């Protein structure tokens, strides 16, 4: 094997973007991928879920919103064709990444990297990876505790290969994956129960977003069990029986055709690497420049076990490329937005208000989507825009949004916080009418003390 400047292990959003940027910096770059290019995000994550979310929205709009506007139609789901649409989006994404890698001259090896005697080796090829530097971007996989494991259980790894829609579904875990799946399957007509150990859905998001989502789920007849713990899952004749210890301490058995476990993900490392002292509780530990304690070995993305999101993996990949190329000025700021494609959509960045309210020195204003003109015309009035500022400086510290299309609108807030913009500077920007983004302006006016529209 010729010697490369850098070998990147893993072709997910972290590894692929890292390899492309390294090649753009003129580094001779090798990308090692054991499965499909695009990683979790393209193959069993962001892309297939959002393809299903798009279909779910059409179903829900046709069934619930269209009749209110005087439009009626017969809505029917051909599940086989839906899954063809899902697979098409995955293939387009995968091929797009492959062609970008080849366009920029990244060399690709389809093999599994393992770690032995201080070196990375290609399992099938049987050769040592010859590179001056290594970037580990091996990602993560769904976590299923032994006690809940059973052969027929679904995780996000196999849910996109299903052939039929279940009549009923138990979802264990109400993080972003669990609630997106609940929205999707419920829109398709599956009877959904969702169980969460913490006292609210999406427990790491804004507390009002959790409440709003719970209300919306209940209206859609999704059964929500919070402060509840799944104790046992057993396969039965027609499906599964799930024993849940509910909030009041009693035990309930829920019978469903299928069970989807979405309680979290665990980093994946090459065989042999977990024996190194680079790992702490299964996560690869790095410094601020993504360097591990092994010289010339870096790690980015889900394998670090911190913020497991595609755009974080990508930003870290691009940043480590800048570090390796000696361009520290191109390293990103570590402010990570989050977007959840449930119904209604939820998006947030910076400080999120928790169950105990805001810290001292912070102030908020919440503008309801029901007072927004565009939301009204869409017939989607659920939601809000919340701005949190530092009282003393007026600087924007956090924004949480819920409502139609808010995942597309968050960037205004990301730039404002990233650049340390205060509320008065934001208000100098004229917001177009009628748009959902006016709700951000309205919330900003509210926190500045002169709300125009409420």
Ligand X SMILES: Cc1cc2nc3c(=O)[nH]c(=O)nc-3n(C[C@H](O)[C@H](O)[C@H](O)COP(=O)(O)OP(=O)(O)OC[C@H]3O[C@@H](n4cnc5c(N)ncnc54)[C@H](O)[C@@H]3O)c2cc1C
Q: Identify the CA nearest to 301 among candidates 79, 3, 61, 8.
A: 8
Specify the pairing of strand 168-172 against strand 346-350.
unpaired
Tell me how crowded residue 315 is: count the other CB atoms within 10 A of its CB.
Answer: 23
| C-alpha radius of gyration, the chain, whole number | 23
Residue of 36, 85, 311, 433 with catalytic role: 433
Q: Positive or negative CA dihedral for 161, 310, 53, 207?
A: positive
Nearer to ligand X, 14 or 239 (CB): 14
Q: CA end-to-end span of the chain, whole Å? A: 67
Nearer to ligand X, 299 or 387 (CB): 299
Alpha-helical runs (H) found in 25-73: 39-44, 46-60
Q: Identify the CA nearest to 14 among candidates 286, 304, 266.
A: 304
Note the residues at the interface with ligand X (CB under 6 A): 9-15, 32-35, 39-41, 44-46, 49, 112-113, 137-140, 156, 177, 268, 270, 301-302, 308-311, 313
Query: Closest approach of Cβ 81 to ligand X, in Å?
Result: 21
Q: Which helix (H) or strand (E) holds 425?
A: helix 423-427
| Distance from C-alpha of 276 to C-alpha of 269, rounded to nearest angstrom | 11
Nearer to ligand X, 292 or 372 (CB): 292
For residue 363, CA distances in Å to 51, 351, 401 come to: 38, 11, 16
Nearer to ligand X, 33 or 442 (CB): 33
Q: Which helix (H) or strand (E) holds 364?
A: strand 362-368
Nearer to ligand X, 246 or 307 (CB): 307
Nearer to ligand X, 157 or 220 (CB): 157
Query: Closest approach of Cβ 109 to ligand X, in Å?
Result: 9
| Distance from C-alpha of 338 to C-alpha of 309, rounded to nearest angstrom | 8
Tell me how crowded residue 191 is: count the other CB atoms within 10 A of its CB.
Answer: 16
Give strand pairing partners of 118: none
Q: Based on the residue annotation, tell me whether 431 is a catalytic residue of this protein.
A: no
Query: Closest approach of Cβ 13 to ligand X, in Å?
Result: 5
Written as one string, the DSSP assignment of 296-328 is TEEE-GGGG-SS--HHHHHHHHHHHHHHHTT-G
Query: Closest approach of Cβ 222 to ligand X, in Å?
Result: 18
| Distance from C-alpha of 361 to C-alpha of 398, rounded to nearest angstrom | 13
Query: Closest approach of Cβ 131 to ligand X, in Å?
Result: 14
Are 437 and 409 a contacting pair, CB within 8 Å? yes
Nearer to ligand X, 270 or 404 (CB): 270
What backbone phi and psi angles, to 5 degrees, belong to 357?
80, -165
| Distance from C-alpha of 323 to C-alpha of 161, rounded to nearest angstrom | 39
Query: Closest approach of Cβ 301 to ligand X, in Å?
Result: 2
Query: Closest approach of Cβ 260 to ligand X, in Å?
Result: 10
Nearer to ligand X, 113 or 131 (CB): 113
Query: Closest approach of Cβ 282 to ligand X, in Å?
Result: 14
Q: Token pair 């070196």 is at which residue? A: 119
Specify the pairing of strand 4-9 against strand 131-136.
parallel
So which residues are the catalytic ones? 433
């Amino acid at each position: 094997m010729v010697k490369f400047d850098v070998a990147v292990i893993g072709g997910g959003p972290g590894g692929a973007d890292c390899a492309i940027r390294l090649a753009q910096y003129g580094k001779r770059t090798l990308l090692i991928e054991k499965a499909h290019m695009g990683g979790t995000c393209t193959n069993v994550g962001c892309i297939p879920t959002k393809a299903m979310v798009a279909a779910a929205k059409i179903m829900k709009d046709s069934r619930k919103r269209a009749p209110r506007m005087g439009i009626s139609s017969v809505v029917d789901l051909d599940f086989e064709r839906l899954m063809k649409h899902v697979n098409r989006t995955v293939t387009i994404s995968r091929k797009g990444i492959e062609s970008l890698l080849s366009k920029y001259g990244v060399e690709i090896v389809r093999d599994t990297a393992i770690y032995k005697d201080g070196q990375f080796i290609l399992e099938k090829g049987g050769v040592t990876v010859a590179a001056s530097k290594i970037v580990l971007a091996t990602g993560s996989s769904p976590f299923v505790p032994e006690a809940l494991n059973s052969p027929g259980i679904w995780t996000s790894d196999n849910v996109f290969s299903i052939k039929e829609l279940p009549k009923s579904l138990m979802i264990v875990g109400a993080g972003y994956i669990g609630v997106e799946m609940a929205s999707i399957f419920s829109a398709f007509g599956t009877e959904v129960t969702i169980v969460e150990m913490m006292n609210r859905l999406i427990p790491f998001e804004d507390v009002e977003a959790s409440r709003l989502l719970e209300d919306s789920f209940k209206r859609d007849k999704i059964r929500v069990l919070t402060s509840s713990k799944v104790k046992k899952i057993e396969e039965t004749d027609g499906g599964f029986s799930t024993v849940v210890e509910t909030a009041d301490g009693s035990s309930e058995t829920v019978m469903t055709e299928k069970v989807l476990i979405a309680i979290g993900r665990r980093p994946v490392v090459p065989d042999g690497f977990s024996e190194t002292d680079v790992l702490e509780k299964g996560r690869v530990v790095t410094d601020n420049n993504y360097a591990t304690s092994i010289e010339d070995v870096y790690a980015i993305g889900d394998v670090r076990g911190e913020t497991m999101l595609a755009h974080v993996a990508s930003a870290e990949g691009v940043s480590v490329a800048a570090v390796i190329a000696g361009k520290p000025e191109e390293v990103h700021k570590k402010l990570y937005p989050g977007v959840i494609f449930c119904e209604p959509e939820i998006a947030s960045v910076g400080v999120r208000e928790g169950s105990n309210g805001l810290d001292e020195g912070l102030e908020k204003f919440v503008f309801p989507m029901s007072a927004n003109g565009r939301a009204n015309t869409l017939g989607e009035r659920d939601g809000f825009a919340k701005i949190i500022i530092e009282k003393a400086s007026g600087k924007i510290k956090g924004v949480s949004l819920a409502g139609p299309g808010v995942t597309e609108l968050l960037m205004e807030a990301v730039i404002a916080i990233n650049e340390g913009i205060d509320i008065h500077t934001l208000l100098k920007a004229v917001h177009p009418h009628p748009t959902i983004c006016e709700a951000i302006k309205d919330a900003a006016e509210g926190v500045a003390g002169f709300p125009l529209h409420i």
